[in-house]
Structure 1
Amino acid sequence: MITVLVRVTHGPEALAATLSALVPAVAAGLVGDAVILSRRQDGTLAKVADAVGASLMVAEEMSWAEGARTARRDWLLCLDDGDIPQEDWIRILDRFVALTPPERGLARFRRDTGMAGLLRRAFARSSVRAGDLVHRRILLHEVKARAPVRLSARIERDPVFG
């Protein structure tokens, strides 16, 4: 099982779109819990978190490491609100988690981001970003991250939230 970390920057509607896309993974036994990261206290976000049984963490930085400290599982799927994993992602992540040791624990979803995304990927370090599946030990700096493994799973942004 994994924990999903969701950073909220577009509001409760974008959060709801992402959380609803995760329901099949909960039913399949892949997603065990969720941590919602927000910069400010928000009553609507608190209601959404409560409704789905997620933890709401309010922190100015909204860093993945802060979410990792609250997570209940060792493997963490990092998403921004409005991210929607595409077909067959559950099987791909389940297999990766089952077969990958923590020291190799950084995997990246494929994402269509246009020319800017191609340039960013060409010069990017292996820092954790939205769309990554990462082992908690990497986020807590107990193990150094290697270059990310490219997953065949895809993630897209809900067009309403850019």
Structure 2
Amino acid sequence: MITVLVRVTCGPEALAATLSALVPAVAAGLVGDAVILTEGPDETLDKVADAAGATLVVAERGSWAEGAKAARRDWLLCLDDGDIPQEGWIRVLDRFVALSRPEQGRARMRRHGVGLSNLLRRAFARSSVRAGDLVHRRVLLDGAKARPPVRLPASIERDPLFG
């Protein structure tokens, strides 16, 4: 099982789109819990998190490390609100988690339809971990050096409403 970390930048509607896309993975036994990362307290996000059974964490700039502290599982799927994993992703991630050792540290899903704002955000990101990565919590919490990410045959698209 994995924990999904969802960084909120677009708002509750984008968060709801991403959380609803995760329901099949919960039913399949891949996703065990979710942590929602927000830059400040928000009553609406709190209600969405509560309805989804997720943990809401206030973290500076949506810090993945703060989310890792609240996660219940060792493998963490990092997503931005509005991200929608595409068909086949559950099987791919389940297999990776089952066969990989923590030393591998990180895997990356392909991202389709990356807009200019996302390219800029990724170019200037403080962390090498980005949305679409499956990362072992040791990499985020202990600063363990991860190997270059394994490219997974799974992809993520942005919901067109949230670009």
TM-score, normalised via structure 1 length: 0.91
Give structure 2 stretches of 5+ with no counterpart.
Answer: none
- C-alpha offsets along residues 21-75 of structure 1, whole Å, 9 cap, x if unaligned? 0000000000000000001111110000000110000122321011001100000
RMSD of aligned Cα (Å): 2.4
Counterpart CA distance in 2 for 1:115 and 1:73 is: 31
Match of 1:146, SS state, is coil
- C-alpha offsets along residues 80-113 of structure 1, whole Å, 9 cap, x if unaligned? 0000000010000000000000010200001124
Q: Give the corresponding residue for 1:160.
A: 161
Q: Give the corresponding residue for 2:8.
A: 8
Q: Give the corresponding residue for 2:75.
A: 75
**Equivalent residue pairs, number:** 161
Counterpart CA distance in 1 for 2:38 and 2:7 is: 6
- C-alpha offsets along residues 106-132 of structure 1, whole Å, 9 cap, x if unaligned? 0000112469789x99xx9x8100000
Q: Give every structure 1 segment of 4 or more consecutive aligned residues whose post-TM-superposition deviation is greater than 3 Å.
A: 113-118
Counterpart CA distance in 2 for 1:114 and 1:44 is: 27
After superposition, where does 1:43-62 map in structure 2 within 5 Å?
A: 43-62=43-62
Counterpart CA distance in 1 for 2:3 and 2:138 is: 14
Q: Is the 8 A contact 2:113 2:158 kept in 1?
A: no
- C-alpha offsets along residues 1-33 of structure 1, whole Å, 9 cap, x if unaligned? 000000000000000000000000000000000
Q: Give the corresponding residue for 2:134.
A: 133
Give structure 1 stretches of 5+ with no counterpart.
Answer: none
Q: Give the corresponding residue for 1:151.
A: 152
Counterpart CA distance in 2 for 1:115 and 1:70 is: 30
Counterpart CA distance in 2 for 1:49 and 1:59 is: 15
Counterpart CA distance in 2 for 1:111 and 1:51 is: 28
Q: Is the 8 A contact 2:37 2:57 kept in 1?
A: yes
Counterpart CA distance in 2 for 1:14 and 1:142 is: 30
